[in-house]
């Protein structure tokens, strides 16, 4: 089945699948992310660059959907526009999420995405087909939520990746000297931030290696990036509206206001008895960076602010800081 | 009044005395420029100014804005802080009685003007907003210290297709206890094939669906203003507001045309940058901003008629992209033999007249969507090419704003476009709020650009 690459949890894979196309949200394996000739990497988000590099590398991609969830990805999306590349749709996700206008705007964007999918070979779904796809995905997500107690860290991230169409085996490097004592008790950790690219999944190993366990993955690929279950009545009456309502309600640092993220986080942290919070953010990501002080002030547990780029020294520096943080928590 | 020239602050203060003795009449905010240094505007000592009374009035108008805002508060007027949209919401606000709108964003120049004595960036640092953010982080410092502008009665901020820096800093300000009415600005997109096209005042095109959406958002903003003030923003009031705003825009249009085309250059780059800024929120006094611009226009028209200017003839004609965090760099350009011939200081949408033959909110939505920053870099580059061509520019300078999320991407794209389509030399520089430490390198690079243009002229 022809494949459609996309970059964000705000692009519903069931909407793409309902158009008889294969959704694929790359987990970002390419660490030496391509950059344009003459463009300094200074100031450029490494994940945005990695997305461009990875989505351009797969030959069966017939279309690319870039959700403009930040200024960086909005601007990087222009790099993809090339006569020799698959068509690109810039998908607007409203930052204002509490108004009916925002909901309507997101719904209109879904309809525009639908027309784009039809132009690249997809087929418009009937309401019944859409409902069917939505229920399938909803069931998978429910199953994933049920697994949260057993499936932690890297396996959990891998399961989410598969839900988003990244079916390849996890071959990303482990943390150096990774060995975990399964019998030992672990300090419950919440991991917060934007996308953890697959080339940095050693983070999960490093946390375990030092006696921690990610019990709340609040990154974009984690639990925070899963929409709430669809409203049954709305699903029956108007599946597209049910889709829009569930997806637009996902908490995100970019929302204005973004209090919803803090409520969501604090509620889950309390429920999972989290003892330490690691904020993993990309260097140059202003949206997360600006919130560090607020996150530290509002969290009832110690917070480690981990800014990561793709330079060679990043893992070693991060590992040292994780080790110190975990030692402090013990 | 003497021949046009650029003079120092000390020279201005001497000249101010002479002009007063000769009978110069000044507005209430007038006076010698040197008094602003006593208030902490230390950078003025290192700037060069145009020597006309019209320029004096412009500077005094700009530098007295904080006093004006405090006076407005004392007079019981509603103070509205409009953020990020640069030119749209103030038009709505000034259509109401007893309302003053201003951009807290403007605090981004305070560290430069006050030569860091304001400590705003240090306060921003303490909030975790360090130098990896655009200097607009000074705005957060101003909210914390409360030493600059009065805290507005209402804050309105556009979000969506905006710089991450700004959005993130604005959210922090809300987190500090200053509620914000957020309104959505989607990324401008060209209409899909078969979809009707709307032509915007800046020449970009957009889908009618986006115009309708932004129009609805602006109605929401209008309702918030109505609730704040107890007044109705009806069509009559809006049309009157548009007329006032358009008078400012039309005056500025003529001023730009002359200042950027007449040789020798009739008005320095620095004064023109400030004059352009008046369009976005009228420096907190709409009628007076028009009077200030009209005085400048009179001066420029007279100089053009007399064939005199502030620079040597044949200065290198430069199209400038993005505003500079350090105003002194505009002086530097002229010191090395350049002049401004066209600009895109990120608010060209505020320079175009608001259509008055449309439903008011649709007209304003079209202006908002004309913002070069809400569309693609390609769009912005195309417009820069067209403008550089229209103004007869010989070189283009893209001035990066340190830390700004758009600056890492746009320079390369726009630069390549200009080289390809116009064959002009392009220089990309980065200007911090106080550029003294990088000035030697900056000067060398600017001189090299001038030399390239001179070589091209000879060949």
Output the 3-class SS for B287-307: HHHHHHHHHHHHHHHHHHHHC
CA pair distance A2, A307, nearest whole angstrom: 36
Mean pLDDT of chain A: 89
Helices B138-145 and B164-175, packing angle to 10 deg: 20
CB-based contact A105 B186, cutoff 8 Å: yes
CA pair distance A322, A141, nearest whole angstrom: 30
pLDDT score recorded for residue B261: 98
- Smallest Cβ–Cβ distance between A68 and the set B161, B168, B182 belongs to B161
pTM for the structure as a whole = 0.95
Dihedral sign for Cα atoms in the order A261, A262, A266, A272:
positive
What 3-state class would DSSP assign to B207?
A: coil
pLDDT score recorded for residue A38: 47
What 3-state class would DSSP assign to A256?
A: coil
pLDDT digits (tens, 9 = 90+) for A73-110: 999 888 888 888 899 999 999 999 999 999 999 999 99
The residue assigned the tokens 């200081």 is B345
- The half-sphere exposure of B43 on its side-chain side, counting CA atoms within 13 A, is 21
- Smallest Cβ–Cβ distance between A101 and the set B127, B220, B408 belongs to B220
pLDDT score recorded for residue A177: 59
**Res. A32: pLDDT tops 80:** no
pLDDT score recorded for residue A159: 85
pLDDT score recorded for residue B441: 97
Residues of B in contact with A89 (CB under 8 A): none
Contact A302, A330 (CB under 8 A): no
Nearest CA in chain A to B209: A108
A207 vs A39 pLDDT, higher one: A207
Interface probe with A: pick from B131, B139, B168, most Cβ of A within 10 Å? B168
Residues of A in contact with B169 (CB under 8 A): 290
Which range is least confidently modeled, A148-157, A278-287, B268-277? A148-157
**Res. A40: pLDDT tops 70:** no
Given CB atoms, is B217 within the 8 Å cutoff of chain A?
A: yes
CB-based contact A95 B167, cutoff 8 Å: yes
Per-residue pLDDT of chain B (459 residues; tens, 9 = 90+): 689 999 999 999 999 999 999 999 999 999 999 999 999 999 999 999 999 999 999 999 999 999 999 999 999 999 999 999 999 999 999 999 999 999 999 999 999 999 999 899 999 999 999 999 999 999 999 999 999 999 999 999 999 999 999 999 999 999 999 999 999 999 999 998 889 999 999 999 999 999 999 999 999 999 999 999 999 999 999 999 999 999 999 999 999 999 999 999 999 999 999 999 999 999 999 999 999 999 999 999 999 999 999 999 999 999 999 999 999 999 999 999 999 999 999 999 999 999 999 999 999 999 999 999 999 999 999 999 999 999 999 999 999 999 888 888 888 889 999 999 999 999 999 999 999 999 999 999 999 999 999 999 998
Element (H, E) at A90: strand A88-91
- Output the CA–CA distances (angstroms, integers) from residue B313 to B6, B339, B367, B450, in the order listed: 15, 10, 36, 14
Which stretches of chain A sit within 8 Å of chain B by CB? 36, 38-40, 42-44, 68, 70-72, 74-76, 78, 81, 90, 92, 94-96, 99, 101-102, 105, 108, 112, 115, 254, 256-258, 284-287, 289-294
For A49-85, letters b (16+ CB in 10 Å) and e give: bbbbbbbbeeeebbbbbbbbbbbbbbbbbbbbeeeee
- Output the CA–CA distances (angstroms, integers) from residue B455 to A195, B316, B337, B339, B449, in the order listed: 50, 11, 14, 17, 10
pLDDT digits (tens, 9 = 90+) for B55-67: 999 999 999 999 9
C-beta atoms surrounding B359 within 10 Å:
12
For B181, phi and psi rounded to 5 degrees?
A: -90, 110
CA angle B19, B25, B31 (to 5 degrees): 70
């Amino acid at each position: 089945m022809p494949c459609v690459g996309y970059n964000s949890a705000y692009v519903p894979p069931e909407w793409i699948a309902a158009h008889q196309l294969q959704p694929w949200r790359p987990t970002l394996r390419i660490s030496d992310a391509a950059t344009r000739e003459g463009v300094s990497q200074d100031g450029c988000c490494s994940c945005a660059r990695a997305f461009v590099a990875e989505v351009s590398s797969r030959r069966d991609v017939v279309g690319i959907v870039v959700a403009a969830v930040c200024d960086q990805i909005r601007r990087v999306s222009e790099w993809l526009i090339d006569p020799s590349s698959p068509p690109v749709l810039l998908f607007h996700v409203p930052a204002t999420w509490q108004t009916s206008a925002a909901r309507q705007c997101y719904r209109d964007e879904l309809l525009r995405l639908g027309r784009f999918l039809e132009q690249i070979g997809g087929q418009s779904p009937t309401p019944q087909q859409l409902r069917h796809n939505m229920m399938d995905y909803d069931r998978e997500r429910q199953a994933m939520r049920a697994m949260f107690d057993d499936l932690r860290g890297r396996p959990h991230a891998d399961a989410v990746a598969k839900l988003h169409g990244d079916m390849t085996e996890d071959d990303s490097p482990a943390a150096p000297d990774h060995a975990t004592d399964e019998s030992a008790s672990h300090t419950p950790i919440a991991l917060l931030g934007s996308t953890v690219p697959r080339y940095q999944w050693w983070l999960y190993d490093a946390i375990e290696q030092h006696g921690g366990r990610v019990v709340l993955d609040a990154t974009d690929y984690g639990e925070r990036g899963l929409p709430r279950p669809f409203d049954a009545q709305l699903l029956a009456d108007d599946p597209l509206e049910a889709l829009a309502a569930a997806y637009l309600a996902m908490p995100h640092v970019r929302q204005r206001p973004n209090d919803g993220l803090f409520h969501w986080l604090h509620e889950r942290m309390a429920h999972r008895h989290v003892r330490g919070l690691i904020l993993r953010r990309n260097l140059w990501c202003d949206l997360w960076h600006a919130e560090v002080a607020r996150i530290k002030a509002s969290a009832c547990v110690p917070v480690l602010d981990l800014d990561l780029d793709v330079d060679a020294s990043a893992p070693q520096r991060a590992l040292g800081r994780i080790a110190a943080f975990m030692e402090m928590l013990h | 009044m003497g021949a046009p020239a650029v003079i120092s602050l000390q020279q201005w203060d001497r000249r101010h005395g002479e002009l007063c003795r000769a009978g110069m009449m000044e507005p209430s905010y007038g006076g010698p420029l040197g008094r602003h240094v006593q208030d902490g505007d230390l950078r003025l000592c290192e700037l060069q100014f145009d020597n006309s009374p019209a320029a004096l009035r412009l500077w005094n108008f700009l530098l007295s804005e904080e006093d004006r805002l405090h006076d407005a508060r004392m007079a019981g007027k509603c103070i509205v802080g409009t953020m990020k949209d640069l030119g749209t919401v103030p038009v709505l606000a000034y259509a109401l009685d007893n309302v003053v709108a201003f951009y807290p964003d403007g605090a981004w120049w305070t560290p430069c003007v006050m030569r860091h004595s304001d400590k705003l960036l240090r306060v921003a640092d303490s909030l975790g907003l360090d130098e990896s953010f655009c200097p607009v982080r000074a705005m957060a410092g101003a909210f914390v210290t409360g030493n600059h502008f009065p805290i507005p009665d209402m804050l309105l901020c556009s979000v969506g297709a905006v710089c991450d820096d700004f959005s993130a800093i604005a959210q922090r300000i809300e987190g500090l206890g200053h509620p914000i009415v957020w309104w959505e600005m989607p990324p401008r997109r060209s209409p899909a094939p078969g979809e009707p096209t709307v032509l915007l005042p800046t020449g970009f095109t957009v889908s009618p669906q986006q115009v309708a959406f932004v129009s609805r958002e602006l109605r929401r903003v209008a309702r918030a203003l109505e609730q704040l003030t107890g007044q109705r923003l009806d069509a009559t009031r809006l049309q009157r507001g548009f007329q006032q705003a358009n008078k400012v825009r039309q005056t500025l249009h003529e001023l730009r045309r002359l200042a950027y085309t007449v040789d020798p250059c009739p008005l320095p780059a620095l004064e023109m940058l400030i004059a352009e800024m008046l369009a976005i929120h009228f420096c907190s006094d709409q009628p007076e901003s028009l009077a200030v611009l009209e005085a400048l226009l009179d001066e420029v028209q007279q100089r053009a008629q007399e064939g005199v200017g502030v620079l040597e003839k044949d200065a290198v004609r430069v199209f400038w992209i993005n505003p500079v965090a350090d105003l002194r760099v505009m002086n530097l350009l002229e010191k090395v033999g350049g002049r401004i011939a066209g600009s895109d200081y990120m608010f060209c949408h505020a320079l175009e007249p608001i259509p008055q033959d449309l439903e008011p909110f649709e007209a304003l939505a079209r202006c908002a969507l004309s913002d070069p920053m809400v569309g693609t870099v390609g769009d912005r580059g195309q417009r820069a090419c067209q403008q550089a061509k229209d103004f007869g520019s010989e070189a283009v300078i893209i001035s990066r704003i340190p830390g700004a999320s758009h600056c890492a991407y746009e320079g390369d794209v726009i630069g390549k476009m200009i080289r390809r389509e116009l064959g002009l030399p392009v220089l990309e520089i980065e200007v911090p709020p106080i550029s003294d430490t990088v000035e030697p390198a900056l000067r060398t690079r600017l001189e090299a650009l001038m030399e390239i243009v001179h070589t091209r002229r000879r060949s």
